[in-house]
Amino acid sequence: MHFRRLSRHVARLMVCTALALAAAVPAVGAIADTKPADPVTTPTTVSADPLPTVQVNGVVWSQVVVGNTVYAAGSFTTARPAGAAPGTQTTTRHNLLAYDITSGKLITSFAPDLNGQALVVAASPDKSRIYVGGAFTRANGQPRARVAAYSTASGKLVPTFAPVVGATVRSITLTDATVYVGGDFTTVSGLARPYLAAILSSNGVPTSWNPKPNGAVTAMALDAKATKLIVGGRFTKVATTAAYGMAALKRTATGVTLPWAASATIRNAGLNSDITSLRSDATSIYGTGYVYGAGGNFEGTFRADAATGKIVWMEDCHGDTYSAFATRAPSTSQVTPTIARTSAASPSSVPGRTSAPPPSRTPRPAPSRPTPRRTTRTLPASPRRHC
């Protein structure tokens, strides 16, 4: 009996000692490995350095960087300094603003005014202009139907670029001479241009390029050589060619459809799924998507070969994913995607979404380094996938 009591006392003492030691040792937080010893086997990641940034009273859907200036487009009416309480120290900014990337402070000399939300902002290759698209019909008091251009030097609206797009613009990409726009529209400046169009940057006149997808185009990217345009969205055909949610198009002639293998594996189209973003680097196309309901089979991030569309890797079942940005270390071939995702957005908060995600979903944090690469696989389409 005495031995049992002694054993219990010893056990309690060991537990208390262990707890005391654990409390005495400070917890070590996760640290981003920005300079790994072997970047070939250990991906270079970004650090989470704090940067106070201007705040808005709504949502930002798209950003683009030109030099030290960040242009942010979304749905908001005011901006305030970092740390300021909501409703205090506000500056009027309707759906578009600029801030300094080094300080996070609002750039007061750039004061655009859009009368509807902006969904996308992109910079011209020479960085002399930004182009913004969305649901607005006026910019700085001037008629601008869903797309407008601003000079990065003066901050003023470009007077010679004023095409009339018939409905919401959701995606933009550019060459030196051409502005490609995608969205919900079927006409541009009175010409039939269903969901996708090419517009001359010099005068805002639509070109003859007219691929004719049968549904909204929500994402696009040029390959590195700018010879073809990769588009994604809710369409199932381009003209008479089957193209389920993604397609590769020639930039010449009328936009002839080219082979694109990714759409055989990732099949997101229709009202309940989408390709939400596409980006490119020298060799690859990176894309993201969501699905809730019938018509889709993928939510996550993928990488495809830019020449063929063959899937290089894909990370699925990580919740609705809306953007990815690839960085490549100069001394290696390692590519690290930075991913923006959410899993609990409502239909009203996601532009163009028509159905709500399951209420049981909760947001998952983006990983600090890429998920291990997966080989290509065919995913079964299902109204509700259990990942």
**In b/e form, how buried is each residue of 116-142, taking b as 16+ CB within 10 angstroms?**
bbbbbbbbbeeeebbbbbbbbeebbee
Asked if residue 107 is part of any domain, the answer here is no
Tell me how many domains the chain contains.
1
Closest among 188, 142, 181 to 164, alpha carbons compared: 188
Q: Whole-model pTM?
A: 0.78
From first to last of its 387 residues, the chain has per-residue pLDDT tens of 443 443 444 344 343 434 333 444 444 444 456 777 777 777 777 677 778 899 999 999 999 999 999 999 999 999 999 999 999 999 999 999 999 999 999 999 999 999 999 999 999 999 999 999 999 999 999 999 999 999 999 999 999 999 999 999 999 999 999 999 999 999 999 999 999 999 999 999 999 999 999 999 999 999 999 999 999 999 999 999 999 999 999 988 777 899 999 999 999 999 999 999 999 999 999 999 999 989 999 999 999 999 999 999 999 887 888 888 877 544 444 444 555 544 434 333 455 544 433 333 333 333 333 333 333 333 433 334 445
∠ CA 286-291-296, rounded to 5°? 85
Asked if residue 302 is part of any domain, the answer here is yes
Asked if residue 59 is part of any domain, the answer here is no
Asked if residue 329 is part of any domain, the answer here is yes
Q: Which domain holds residue 272?
A: 241-350
- Check: CB of residue 45 under 8 Å from CB of residue 34: yes
Asked if residue 137 is part of any domain, the answer here is no
Helices and strands (DSSP H and E) totals, the chain: 2, 28
Asked if residue 331 is part of any domain, the answer here is yes
Tell me the HSE value of 267 on the side-chain side, using a 13 A CA sphere.
Answer: 18
